[in-house]
Structure 1
Amino acid sequence: MPVTDTLSPPTATASVTDALHRRRSVRAFTDRPVDPAQLRDIFAAAQRAPSGGNLQPWQATVLTGAPWQAVQDAVATRIAMGREGYEPEYDIYPKGLTDPWESRRYGVGEALYASLGIPREDKPARLDQFRHNYRGFGAPVMLFLHCSRIMGPPQWSDMGMWLQSVMLLLVEHGLASCPQECWAMYGATVRRTLGLGDDQILFSGLAIGYADEGAAVNRWPVPRVELEDVIDWQGFGE
């Protein structure tokens, strides 16, 4: 059977395997504040993430309160402009995406809307849910991950390893998160609001907080494909 995500209680975890099973992209947070000292401990531990040549290319800006609200307000203004408001940093999905990847993307989107009870024909409700992305799903903390524009694909993979490390450590501390590449659609606005120079490129946001465990959007199963679909075993015998 495919592996699925289920939301677990916000208790400390004792193993990497446990953290991997508990972690999921949470799309409804409570307004409970997050202890900055706890976040500092998490980010300090995440510095052990590997990077080619030990470049450690990741840079992050972590916001709460008024600065976080300022980003939300700035991006809301761009969203109201429609497609003219887009300022993409990069293509989040490849152009001409084909199966099996397109089916996976379509399937998870439809499952998300189904968990919220939003049918395909209810365009206003779907648009509101789209906008909810840019409120961080109510998370009290938002991390924006960025790097120097001179960095290439290998360093972007390093940033991904750092981000995964942070997400697993958040689970260990009883916190939840949602990685959000969608912010790159309005990357220039985010960078301007954060005071980042044009030498930086925005990679992703990460909503951080305590999960609303009763929210249906946090409880629907997110399937993973079978190992046979992604692993080719060679030299191991029959």
Structure 2
Amino acid sequence: MHVDDAIMSRRSVRRFLPTPVPRETLKHLLNVARQAPSGSNIQPWQIHVVTGEPLAALRNALEAAFDGEPGQHQAEYVYYPREWFEPYISRRRRCGYGLYETLGIQREERDKRLAQARRNYAFFDAPVAMILTLDRRLDTGSFMDCGMFLQSLMLAARGQGLHSCAQAAIAPYHRVIREQLTLDDSELVLCALALGHADPNAPENGFAPEREGLESFTRFYS
């Protein structure tokens, strides 16, 4: 797959088929992604690949925390602004409303919206979940490095005909993840990546939020 096609066809898939992804394929993806750039080549990322019974246990623990401990979990870093402003709040709303509309969920149907949010913690039924962590002693630049690694991993997946969904939603549940996986105390839980074969019949997988035109974010100087 040409790199342009991989970029243009990448999207957040929110329902996967149960088809397993072979260990050798996962190793290939990570071997490709490790070529991602990082400041002074420090390569700050750590990745925890979870499949099979450990994945089932992690799902169960996350769903139990989501159901039974609302408001008791908080991420160790701030992802979104504390107060939203334009044009970002409008873009966020269009994305959220568009997804729910694709699923036939109305704005007032709070239970259905909550059920869809809960699917994050089942990794959207993906057969593979990857947990991305970072040494907490590092700083902002390493967050950018990890983002480039994550994008490289998602594009490598497209090259193998796979899809993915990056999930910052799991970050508040870092204590649950630590209980299930072998994470060093120094590791900051950044996000997850659900990975596998997209379910072609799932309406949510047809949702593609609009992108801004070049004129909205580009300045040419010549």
Q: Do they superpose with TM above 0.5?
A: yes
Equivalent pair of 1:79/1:85 in contact (CA under 8 Å): no
Aligned-partner Cα distance in 2 for 1:201–1:61: 12
**1:67-119, Cα deviation, whole Å (9 max, x unpaired):** 11111111122112343431322222111121101111111000000000010
Shift of 1:191: 2.2
Normalising by structure 2, what TM-score?
A: 0.97
Shift of 1:214: 1.6
Q: Once structures 1 and 2 are overlaid, which stretch shifts more, 84-93 or 216-225?
A: 84-93
Query: Secondary structure, in 3 states, of the residue corresponding to 1:142?
Result: strand
Residue 211 in structure 1 maps to residue 198 in structure 2 = yes
Query: Secondary structure, in 3 states, of the residue corresponding to 1:80?
Result: helix
Shift of 1:197: 2.5
1:30 to 17, 20, 26: 17
Shift of 1:220: 2.1
Matches within 5 A, 1:1-80: 13=1, 15-80=2-67
Equivalent pair of 2:164/2:195 in contact (CA under 8 Å): yes
What amino acid is the match of 2:186?
A: D
Structure 1 residues 82 and 103, CA, compared in 2 at 3 Å: closer, same or farther?
A: farther
Shift of 1:192: 2.5
Residue 177 in structure 1 maps to residue 136 in structure 2 = no
**1:156-186, Cα deviation, whole Å (9 max, x unpaired):** 1000001000000100000110000100021
Aligned-partner Cα distance in 1 for 2:178–2:12: 24
Aligned to 1:114: 101
**1:206-230, Cα deviation, whole Å (9 max, x unpaired):** 0000001121101123100011111
Stretches of 4+ moved more than 3 A in 1?
Answer: none
Q: Once structures 1 and 2 are overlaid, which stretch shifts more, 103-112 or 186-195?
A: 186-195
Query: Secondary structure, in 3 states, of the residue corresponding to 2:16?
Result: coil
**1:8-36, Cα deviation, whole Å (9 max, x unpaired):** xxxxx2x1101011110101100011011
Equivalent pair of 1:89/1:188 in contact (CA under 8 Å): no
Shift of 1:147: 1.1
Aligned-partner Cα distance in 1 for 2:100–2:15: 14
Equivalent pair of 1:144/1:204 in contact (CA under 8 Å): yes
Aligned to 1:126: 113
Shift of 1:128: 0.6
Query: Secondary structure, in 3 states, of the residue corresponding to 2:190?
Result: strand
Aligned to 1:156: 143
2:131 to 139, 144, 151: 144
Query: Secondary structure, in 3 states, of the residue corresponding to 2:183?
Result: coil
Percent same amino acid among aligned pairs? 38
Aligned-partner Cα distance in 1 for 2:48–2:165: 16
Aligned-partner Cα distance in 2 for 1:19–1:172: 6
Structure 1 residues 227 and 176, CA, compared in 2 at 3 Å: closer, same or farther?
A: same
Equivalent pair of 1:92/1:182 in contact (CA under 8 Å): no
Aligned to 1:191: 178
Q: Identify unmatched segments of 5+ residues in structure 1.
A: 1-12
What amino acid is the match of 2:32?
A: A
Aligned to 1:202: 189
Query: Secondary structure, in 3 states, of the residue corresponding to 1:189?
Result: helix
